[in-house]
Amino acid sequence: MKKLLVLLFMFAGITAKSQYFQTGQDPASLKWRQINTENFQLIYPDYFENQAQRLAQKLEVVYNFGGYSLKHKPKKISVILHTQTVQSNGLVAYAPKRSEFYTTPHQSIYPQDWLEQLAIHEFRHVVQIDKVNEELPEIIKLLLGEQGTALIFGAYLPWWFIEGDAVVTETALGNYGRGRFPSFLVEHRAQVVEKGKYSYDKAYLGSYKNYVPNHYKLGYYLVGNSRVRYGSDMWESVVKRVGEKPFSLTPFNKALKLETGYNKVQLYNSVFDSLTQVWQNEDQNFNSVPFNTITKPQKTYSNYTFNYWLNNDEIISYRTALNKIPAFVKIDKNGREQTILNPGSIFDESVNYRKEWIVYAERIPDLRWSHSGRSKICLYNVNTKNKVSFSPELKAFSPTLSPNLNEVLVVESDFSNNYFLSVYRITDGKLLHRISTSENNYFFSSEWINEKEIVAILLTNQGKRIAKFNLVSGEHEILFDTDLGEIKQLRYTNSNLYFISGYSGKNALYSYNFESKQIEQIYDPRFSVEFPSINSENQILLSDYTADGFRLIEVPLNTSKPLPDVEKEDYPMTKKLATQELGIPNLLVSDSVHYESLAYKKPAHILNFHSWAPVFIDVYDYEFAPGLSLMSQNKLGTAETVLGYKWNTTEKTGQFYGKYTYKGWYPVIDFEVTSGKEASSYWLITERTRDGEVVSRDTTLERFKYKATSLNVDLSLPLNLSSGAYFRLFQPQVKYEMSLYQEDESTPDHFLAGTYQSLSYRLYFHQFLRQSYQDVYPNFGFVADVNYRHSPNSTNVFGNLKAAQTQVYLPGLLRNHGIKLYAGAQSKKAGDILSFSNAIYFPRGWHNIESTKLNSFSANYKLPIVHPDLSVGGLAYCRRINATLFADYANLEGNIYENGEIAGSYSSNISSYGMELIGDFNFLRFYAPVKIGVRTSYLPQHDNFVFDFLLSVDFNSL
């Protein structure tokens, strides 16, 4: 066990930074309140009181259902509500323990209230991790605190189980859930039928060569089918063993073997072998209606979505691909493409067209606050290339241009989750109409019928319904009350309303006729279709899903089937899953229930110590050493504290360490203090004399200790200027450093004791074009970085340093290749005692050389060599190998010293060139990818080669 504990501490040191999962901050102006129920603490902005009260009731109801199949009721947990973000998400994290809800719904949610979806799904994660925590040996919690639980949970439970179990739960505890969502289910079906089953490692860890459905979808099939075969108790036993047996190294596999006879690879093969047989049999019995394929076959997975007939011969579509950045493209009937526009980050289901205009809603991040942002409505004229935009008052989605081209209809949500259909005038962004429902229903897929009437999808307690609205009176009527499951993408033309529905278990095309009030299925696909468009000749354009992505097809309008003749999918697996639960929780809330609401004072909650360790862990540099650590992060994510004691085993010295970071104001403030002893050495010359003459001389390396205290104060202002297709960051920074060196009993006479101070000023800016998944560099981009450092108060301890550097990114010769050019210039004046270290890059393979002037240049050409998707048992999985050819050059000027005095100067040119080979790996099936490789540098001035080992771990993927 002792050896395993050492390994655990080492792993904790490597992964520590990932445990401090930081999602960002909310605006500093927010005032926070809290509700404490028996099992939850809700922390929310004061204006969200009504919704928080209702959510508190729903969470308490979910509490009695969400842990039933895992036989666990978790301890109380905090839930932080982020209400101003334009993202839609939820998460549960340990170290510190909390859940975070991003309260704004998106346009792709399944037919259930968004906060209810979050309550069920995220609470299941609470159950999972709290059960592991309860079963863990006390020694881990005593030694590591909450980070011990997070470490075991993240290291041993695969992400496909963590998310798949939550998706199974949301499906089994409701009438919908993603397990009844054709868009969620179709990707594996198409892949297996057309390409076959992937290996377990590829299916779980991904690929750069092929599109691989994410671990939510993989997990749903694995967890759901396993529960049907072996009962829900099997997963309770697996999670319990992971907590009980963390020192067995493979508790998940061992528990699976005990419950099913399979390890996780064998279980994957068994489940997907069965699914493959079922899906292939169903595919053989499918009879397709003839259609015309418009887009040409693509070598790389590509999607053509948000479609529109520009005229009867040309099409506009939104293309995404593994090897290309998103773009609107124009396509003729022969499949020839022309790129029109590279937009920014578009919200789900938020593109539409009218005549020659494209209209879409783009996500704009807040300048400073990650948990804030806004919507921008953008219009682009395909013919004139004129672009118009305006910012609506609220968070806006699903824009639709009016028939007269003067107004835009949008779905809106305010910070309190009040939902509206709003009309804005394009020329000045003025609000003209805003309507809502008495029950505050959420809206989807708004569409104009005429200048006074619109249609939209309503989210009701019974599911999604299509309704017609009068913009003048605000009144609405439900067009039909049949539950069609998932409904989306309304398109109105000639008294017919076309839409996509998952009624049959596939996303198929349907229509509603306003005169006959009848619903018909227009086209039944092999796998799935979406994004319909109908032109003046009644040609229907659709995105048709295949294992290589959505292609464009044209289908006839002369085939249809009345809705009563369409067999409704009943999802038999979800019925079996539901029988393993307590039932469907009733989430209708009572207005008579009111929890006590209290102020949540930010200053009183600055510190939240959650983890510790009997080793020193540097959570910012992935380093660990003998010592102690104590870590704090507050629940709002604005303050981080690390305290500790670090023992240097080589020098046999120790230091106390403290760092505090505050991110709750516009500038980010870092305080860092260290105090203790350090060690160094000097050459001591001892002479022996006889009769006044030196007869021998010994030179020995004498070690000494000294006392050192340092204080660093760093103020930075990270400003997010991203818009359109470019990511931009501007960050000014000021840093003050003070070091106090004091003599010890072993300190030599010439030791430079005293107080040394320095000030640094920095301006940093970058702009990068969005990258495709396969790009090794951005196709365009640049970095500008300017530094100035000096000694304050008219002292000249360090001298000064001036530095400027830039990087430029350009496309390579072939797609996904990239060029990076670097240039830096530095001027440094040595101080009376010390000098600053270099601020710009040095040629690779060379050790640092002291200089007064340094000009550095570098050219890099990077390219993917191969995408092997190669597994070596369960030890390693390689997804990609990249090569970088580089050439570095530097010109140095400096002083030559003799006896401590300047005796001359030098000018020298140094260079290196060579190659880096780096592979993208996953080791031991751990989800975080590792870049590992080697660099070979040839140094012409020395006529020799230098070899370096390269290693980095990306914990941001977790």
For the record, the structure tokens of 514 come out as 């306003």
C-beta separation of 139 from 247 below 8 A: no
Residue entry with tokens 């993917």: 864
Instruction: Please measure the distance between the N-terminal and C-terminal CA atoms of the chain and give it in whole angstroms.
Output: 28
- What's this model's pTM, rounded to 2 decimal places? 0.94
How buried is residue 174: exposed, middle or buried, by Cβ count under 10 Å (0-12/13-18/19+)?
Answer: buried
User: Residue 562 to residues 25, 495, 521, 856: CA-CA distances in angstroms?
Assistant: 52, 17, 6, 72
CA atoms of 244 and 238, how far apart (whole Å): 10
Regions in the chain scoring below 70 on pLDDT: 1-20, 621-622, 681-701, 794-795, 832-833, 897-900, 955-958
Nearest to 91 by CA among 101, 103, 83, 82: 101
For residue 390, the model assigns a pLDDT of: 97
Q: Tell me the CA distances in angstroms from 179 to 167, 185, 231, 502, 941, one per residue in order.
A: 7, 7, 18, 12, 64
What would the 3-class secondary structure string for 318-355 be? EEEECCCCCEEEEEECCCCEEEEECCCCEEEEEEEEEC
Residue 26 pairs in a beta bridge with: none
pLDDT on residue 20: 59
DSSP E strands: which ranges in 717-776? 719-720, 726-743, 754-769
pLDDT tens digits, one per residue of 398-432: 999 999 999 999 999 999 999 999 999 999 999 99
Buried b (16+ CB within 10 A) or exposed e, 618-654: bbeebebbebbbbbbbbbbbbbbbbbbbbbbeeeebb
What's the pLDDT tens digit per position in 236-292?
Answer: 999 999 999 999 889 999 999 999 999 999 999 999 999 999 999 999 999 988 899
CB 527 within 8 A of CB 506: yes
Q: What is the DSSP letter of 517?
A: -
pLDDT score at 9: 37
Torsion region of 133: left, alpha or beta (phi above 0 gives left; psi -120 to 50 gives alpha): alpha
Residues in the chain: 958
pLDDT of residue 18: 35
CA–CA separation, 692 vs 538, rounded Å? Answer: 114
pLDDT attached to residue 7: 37
At 573, phi and psi to the nearest 5? Answer: -65, -35
